[in-house]
Amino acid sequence: MKSAGVLGTHSLVATVLGNHATQAQKEYYLPKMATGELWGALALSEPDAGSDVQSIKTIATKDGDNYIINGSKTFITNAEYGNLLLVLAKTDPKAIPGAKGISAFLVEKGHPGYAITKKMEKLGYKGLDTSELVFEDCVVHKSQLVGEIEGKGFTQVMAGLEVGRINVASRAVGVARAAFEEAVKYAQQRRTFGKPIAQHQAIQLMLAEMYTSIEAARHLVIAAAEKKDRGERCDLEAGMAKLFASEMCVKVTMDAMRVHGGYGYSKKFIVERLYRDAPLMIIGEGTSEIQKLVIAKNLLKKYQI
């Protein structure tokens, strides 16, 4: 069974292709992605370029009907077990702003010129592979350029990240909900001073705040997803959902551990794993700080005087 992170990355790549690929590219790749024959991975982040996508250093040099890709990528989800990379590279390194020089390429697993150099060990989310990649004179045909137009890669992927942010926000709600349910169950079983700890006011206050926060995040996710389903831009809504849900997830999983007391820190209960999984939510698909900038930018546009 594929993890939520793998499915999220796969759907992001499929979204980019569905919105921006040529008809021939769609007809070839999308059916195979729908059946699971191909699993997508987004090769975007680099050692010196994470949130600042415009600063990527991977280069794709035009050579006749081909492009030669050189560079490295890191923190690439699904790189090891996926088999279709969506690679961002600069076709015009001198472009100003840098986003205008970025293009997106499709590279299938086993293609000569690229290799996984390291599988990264993580604090949590261990059901999702994360790797480092290196491209050395990786030759791809011009037909592998998404949309077959140079300089559109940044726009293509940023639009897809709306889906990615909603996906991560929904995962944050799921992890937090699991932690809450473990906490509320444990609170009714664990007894202190002659009664279940769920009857102590301090625990009741924590449970009430946890559930209220989860429900608030869930509604933000639904609002963003519904707007995306209508075909509307949802930068603001996706950013708010991602920001609130991810920060909420970290707090709720910590509170769930506190409800469990010392047992929450042990591997006897699942909450310690949920607590380790939670930090990925505030990093994946753009940090909380990036979401705040996205939100502010859209608010200033919405309320421009």
Pairwise CA distance, residues 89 & 72, whole Å: 10
- State the sign of the Cα–Cα–Cα–Cα dihedral 56, 50, 174, 218: negative
Pairwise CA distance, residues 16 & 157, whole Å: 6
Residue 162 is among the residues annotated as catalytic for this protein: no
Pairwise CA distance, residues 157 & 12, whole Å: 8
DSSP state for residue 123 in the 8-state scheme = S
- State the sign of the Cα–Cα–Cα–Cα dihedral 203, 209, 213, 214: positive
Query: CA 208, 213, 216: angle at the middle one, nearest 5?
Result: 125
DSSP state for residue 124 in the 8-state scheme = S
Choosing from 46, 237, 285, 289, the catalytic residue is 285
Catalytic residues: 285
